[in-house]
């Protein structure tokens, strides 16, 4: 066996839940400069299935939280922020949340992020960016909106995610108002004097919530959630397999400055009004790709046997004569009980059902293009019927 032990490099940052992770038997690894649990004693597969069946608690405090305010109160901060992203931000109502993309001037993706119009004040945004690129993101935002917006980092806040079909019952036992939220809505509330931001969102494909709260109280709040027997702690390993099955992109693998939103198949994140105005970074290139179709596109990929194709695996035509692309995320999907992957592929091979081949350990293995997601997304939207029980 090759040595698969994980070592922890020195000088890693710790989240407010570090001691709790260790107490619960978390296997700690280095991730984006933070020491994070990759799994707990339940194991990645068990954690993954538990989250889809009951509820999982994730520490996502390594992600970058920040508040954005206009310097001139006459400016709408959401309108200003549209200069950096292709999404409809100005039309967000208070407490409404949007997934969007920070773009560079060529339309490449600097990061994906969540943007919420604050519900506790008239003119402010709450943003959450990925851990790895967070410092670059913040520098980019400050530089682009210099003199017009003030970015305040929430370094004193933790972020938890509670995901799964039981998440709403578990959280409502503590904060009943969370039940009234729909997918991508947030509320500002307080509990025992703590100010909380709770959004109905997450990155597993399940119903669930993300809870931003003061770091000093994160552990006690997490313990309160974990005291419910339906809740299990979930590490980075299952976080990755859950988001991959749900067809969600991971920055640094499926998204990067070399990839545009059109190539990443995130056209839904560029609404018509923004396309018409063509006023976002890289609009020329992106609108060109929309009109002509991109040369390559992100797709789901299912290996025909049980071979796991991880990121970096080359994609070929079935006869192996033509290289078609590359796997950007790949692993095993415990819910579908099969290998799952996403990759960037030549647009003419991007139709679901297309036969392809993957080069794994020097051998070509049969696979096919698969429509995303691999599992049904269980978000609570306006049209959803009330939950049973």
Q: Which residues bind another protein (CB under 8 A)?
A: 1-2, 4-5, 38-39, 43-46, 48, 237, 241, 306-308, 310, 331-332, 334, 339, 361
Residue 44 or 283 with smaller CB distance to another protein = 44
The 3-state DSSP class for residue 273 equals helix
Q: What is the DSSP string of 318-348?
A: TTSSSEEEEEEEEEEETTTTEEEEEEEEEGG
Question: Looking at beta carbons only, is 52 or 118 nearer to another protein?
Answer: 52
Q: How far is the CB of 241 from another protein (least distance, A)?
A: 7
Residue 261 vs 334, nearer CB to another protein: 334
Cα separation, 261 vs 347, in Å, equals 14
For residue 373, say if its preceding peptide bond is cis, omega within 30 degrees of 0.
Answer: yes
Q: How far is the CB of 6 from another protein (least distance, A)?
A: 9
Three-class secondary structure of residue 234 per DSSP: coil
Cα(281)–Cα(51) distance, integer angstroms: 37
* Rounded least distance, CB 286 to another protein, Å: 36
DSSP class of residue 16 equals T
Measured from the CB atom, the residue of 48 and 370 that comes closer to another protein is 48
Min. distance of Cβ 230 from another protein in angstroms? 22
| CB closer to another protein out of 91 and 307 | 307
Q: C-beta of 366: minimal distance to another protein in Å?
A: 15
Q: Residue 4 Cβ, how far from another protein at the closest point, in Å?
A: 5
In sequence order, which residues have a C-beta less than 8 Å from that of residue 40 and are 6 or more positions away? 21, 24, 25, 26, 27, 47, 232, 233, 234, 235
Residue 194: count other Cβ atoms within 10 Å of its Cβ.
14
Spatial distance between the Cα atoms of 295 and 313, rounded to a whole number of angstroms: 19
Q: What is the CA radius of gyration of the chain?
A: 21
Backbone angles phi, psi at 121, to 5 degrees: -155, 160
Nearer to another protein, 235 or 343 (CB): 235
Report the nearest approach of another protein to the CB of residue 369 (Å). Answer: 21
Cross-strand partners of 367: 303, 356
Minimum separation from the CB atom of position 338 to another protein (A): 9
- Rounded CA gap, 297 and 311, in Å? 16
- Evaluate whether 311 touches 330 at the Cβ level (below 8 Å): yes
We find the least distance from the C-beta atom of residue 353 to another protein, in angstroms, to be: 24
Q: Which is nearer to another protein, 310 or 323 (CB)?
A: 310
Distance CA 152, CA 374 (A): 38
44 versus 287: smaller Cβ distance to another protein: 44
| Distance from C-alpha of 89 to C-alpha of 287, rounded to nearest angstrom | 19
Other beta carbons within 10 Å of 45: 17
CA atoms within 13 A on the CB side of 49: 9
How near is the Cβ of 305 to another protein at its closest, in Å?
9
Closest to another protein by CB, 2 vs 190, is: 2
CB nearer another protein, residue 152 or residue 337: 337
């Amino acid at each position: 066996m090759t040595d698969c032990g994980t070592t922890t490099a020195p000088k890693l940052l710790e989240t407010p839940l570090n001691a709790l992770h260790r107490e619960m038997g978390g296997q700690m690894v280095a991730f984006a400069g933070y020491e994070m649990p990759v799994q707990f004693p339940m194991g990645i597969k068990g954690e993954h299935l538990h989250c889809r069946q009951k509820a999982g608690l994730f520490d996502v405090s390594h992600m970058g939280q920040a508040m954005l305010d206009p310097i001139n109160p006459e400016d709408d901060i959401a309108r200003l922020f549209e200069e950096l992203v292709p999404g409809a931000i100005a039309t967000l109502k208070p407490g409404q949340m949007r997934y969007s993309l920070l773009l560079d001037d060529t339309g490449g993706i600097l990061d994906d992020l969540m943007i919420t119009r604050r519900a506790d004040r008239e003119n402010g945004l709450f943003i959450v960016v990925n851990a790895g690129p967070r410092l670059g993101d913040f520098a980019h935002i400050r530089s682009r909106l210099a003199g017009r917006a003030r970015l305040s980092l929430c370094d004193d806040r933790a972020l938890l995610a509670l995901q799964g079909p039981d998440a709403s019952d578990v959280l409502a036992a503590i904060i009943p108002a969370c039940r009234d939220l729909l997918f991508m809505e947030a509320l500002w509330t307080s509990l025992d004097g703590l100010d909380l931001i709770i959004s109905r969102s997450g990155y597993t494909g399940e119903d669930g919530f993300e809870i931003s709260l003061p770091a000093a109280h994160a552990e006690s709040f997490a313990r309160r959630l974990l005291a419910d027997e339906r809740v299990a702690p979930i590490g980075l390993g299952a976080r990755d397999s859950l988001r991959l099955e749900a067809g969600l992109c991971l920055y640094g693998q499926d998204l990067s400055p070399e990839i545009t939103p059109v190539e990443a198949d995130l056209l839904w994140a560029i609404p018509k009004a923004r396309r018409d105005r063509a006023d976002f970074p890289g609009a020329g290139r992106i609108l060109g790709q929309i009109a002509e179709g991109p040369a390559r596109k992100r797709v789901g990929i299912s290996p025909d046997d049980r071979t796991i194709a991880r990121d970096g695996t080359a994609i070929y035509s079935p006869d192996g004569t033509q290289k078609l692309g590359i796997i950007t995320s790949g692993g095993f999907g415990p819910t579908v009980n099969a290998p799952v992957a996403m990759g960037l592929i030549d647009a003419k091979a991007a139709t679901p059902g297309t036969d392809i081949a993957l080069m794994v350990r020097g051998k070509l293995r049969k696979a096919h293009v698969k429509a995303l997601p691999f599992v049904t997304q269980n978000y609570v939207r306006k049209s959803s019927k009330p939950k049973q029980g």
